[in-house]
Chains A and B, each alone.
Chain A
Amino acid sequence: MKQFSLILLSSLLIAGCSNLDRSRDLANQNVRPEVTARQLCSDCHGVDGNSVSPNFPKLAGQQEEYLVKQLQSFRHGDRASEQSYQYMWGMTATLTDEQIKGLAHYYNQHVIKLSLSKETDRILLAKGKEIFENGIPAKQSPACKLCHGAVGEGMATIPRIAGQHAAYLVRQLVIFQENAGRPGTPMESVTHGLSAAEMDSVASYLQALGV
């Protein structure tokens, strides 16, 4: 009797129970994007897109078109840096364009919050600001703000970089420079001449840059 009811119960559960309002299922296209964002993506990116750990980029307030493009390129395997396939390929493999649009919209609607920065080195921050505003003419590195906007807010497929975690920014700059998984963007030539110290200073400046 006991076993019978157990079998009955479990088959009911397997057959019936999908829980669309609180599902963590990536294969079910009926799960609304904001449900996926909250139930699943939040584990790394934060429920409002403000991740705690710099291992994971902030998505809050990010440009919608940029997010769509990145999610699609994870899904196609075009964005292929080490962290991309370790963390993001699986997350995007089954997403439809419709879901991707919804996710991008969800994060775009949230407001980025500044992380408390422990960087107090004024010289470093000033150097970073200099690179952001004027580039490094001697190395033919253009000013970041030419593309990323006056306050690093981004536009269309050019990402917001203001307020992003410095460690994440540096990691991406290195990936662009070494052509290690994000090919075919202007960033490869932008980063071509940047030294590690320069990347560090511009990233520290950007993390502290509020909008």
Chain B
Amino acid sequence: MVSTQRIDAYVSQALVSLAILSALGIGFIFSKSASALPLFARQTGQSCLACHAGGQFPELTPYGRLFKLTGYTQGVRTDIPLAVMAVASYAKVSSYNGSDSSGVDFPRDGTANITTASVFCCGKITDNIGVFAQYTHDLWASQDASGSWQEHSHIDQVDIRYSDRFIDESHDFIYGLSLNNNPGVTDVWNTHNSAFAPVSSYVPAGNAIFSSSALPHDVPATPILEGLQYSAGLSGYFYLNNALYAEVGTYKASTSGLSFLHDAGVGGPGALSTRLSGSFNPYLRLAANHDWNANSLMLGIHALHASVFDDATLINSNSYSTFNDIGMDGQYQYLLDPHALTLLFSFTHENQNYSGYQHTANSFNPSDTLNYLRAKITYVFRARYGASLAYTQAQGSSDLGIYGASPAANTQANLSFNHSPDSKLWVPEVFVMPVQNIRVGLQYFKWSQFLGGHTYTYYSGLGTPSSRDASDNNLAFLYVWLAY
């Protein structure tokens, strides 16, 4: 007990010192120098706001999109292609209702954590080849049986590109290839995949606050398009006249030669990305774009078809379930310094067709559907003061087996009274960027529905079921984000 307290005190101190140091020291030294910025900024010598709307990660400006589509090859090759990013945070959940051991269920609640740190190795390699690769260290990745925390380092987002551009006064044709580890990490609008999640990009893995992902920090049912990080993908794309974008890719399990795209800890045996069947799990994305004055509008569709072996031990069997995602997404931007406004939405419909095995063992229905909606509005003033409001919603067919079956003894679980995945989450946020590589923000996670209603059944770690309100999971989240 004493030792955890000591660790907490240490971490809080570290967090506070970090914040002060950032605000004073780094801010003062680097306020006008373009050489001290994260990698791509070093490569082009520009400020973050050239590529990110209002200077805030992750939304890209039209220029940022072209920078990515031309394969991260603009500018000057940097000598040391490394950058670091760290997130420190403090979270407080609304209520411990229904928990018979808050220390077990909410171990990091109400304490300051240095949550994650990432190293990026990115940038221009040749005139046609560039890399975005992120390696992340989670300080609170998991707890072992005795309750002590395990750290975990792993590969994170990867996008290695080859691209070329044919441009003259009448045509602009960009094409490229990407080797990557997450369908949608390639996209330049960040609407429909969680790679650079538009809703909660600064929220760490839920584990840091809650002892298991059983307690929610995100909508509990998501389409498979969101769940294939660490798989291996190859995609080809083109962008014509700033108006038409098309991308076709395919994903497979990241095994043997491609295992560097894989994370054995988080996405270990059993994870979706290791269970993809064959090498043809196609991803398709089309988008129409139009820029006028200070406005930019995109409307697009996205689709993914994935066949997933039911069980890591059955990989050689022929028992797999198929998931078909198809959706629409869009973005509107108004960018005229000092104003940056971004609105985006993404809607995905998923058909889940279970194998005979899966149907017998887990699901109640032979097939289910899921509709997933995400929307966000962000405004940033002078690349310094910002506010956003995000909304995520999942609605799908009720399935007793998936959303309502009692868990095995002593495992945490959330059960829906009406066997429904339906959930609604609002996340308002305010943030300040005292300098462009530091961001301090406050988010509030407000649940208006969780698993089909205002209440649901929570099985705590000790295995006792009790009723918990959706709003008990409301969460205040304060973070400091640093990149250098």
Binding site for B on A (CB under 8 A): 2-3, 13-14, 17-19, 22-27, 38-40, 42-44, 47-48, 52-55, 82-83, 85-87, 89-91, 93-94, 115, 167, 171
Contacts and interface: CB of A to CB of B under 8 A. Distances in A.
Nearest to B257: A2
Nearest to B74: A24
Contact of B294 (A2, A26, A38, A54): A54
A26 B294 CA distance: 27
Contacts of A3: 257
Interface in B393-409: none
Contacts of B77: 25, 27
B235 interface: no
A2 B129 CA distance: 20
Contacts of B337: 55, 82-83, 171
Interface in B270-321: 291-294
A65 B50 CA distance: 27
Contact of B293 (A40, A52, A93): A52
B127 A24 contact: yes
Interface stretch (B165-173, B202-210, B225-233): B165-173
Contact of B63 (A18, A43, A89): A43
Contact of B34 (A52, A90, A167): A90
A86 B172 CA distance: 26
Contacts of A19: 126-128, 164
B167 A39 contact: yes
A17 B66 CA distance: 21
Interface stretch (B41-49, B101-109, B148-156, B368-376): B41-49
10 residue pairs, one from A and one from B, having the closest CB atoms: A90-B45, A86-B47, A19-B127, A24-B74, A27-B76, A23-B127, A17-B126, A43-B66, A90-B46, A38-B167
B243 to A, nearest CB: 12
Contacts of B74: 24, 26, 39-40, 43
Contacts of B129: 13, 17
Contacts of B172: 42, 47
Contacts of B292: 52
B223 interface: no
A22 B46 contact: no
22 contacts: A13-B128, A13-B129, A22-B127, A22-B166, A24-B73, A26-B74, A27-B76, A27-B77, A39-B70, A39-B165, A39-B167, A43-B62, A43-B66, A43-B67, A52-B293, A53-B291, A55-B335, A85-B34, A86-B49, A90-B44, A91-B46, A115-B293
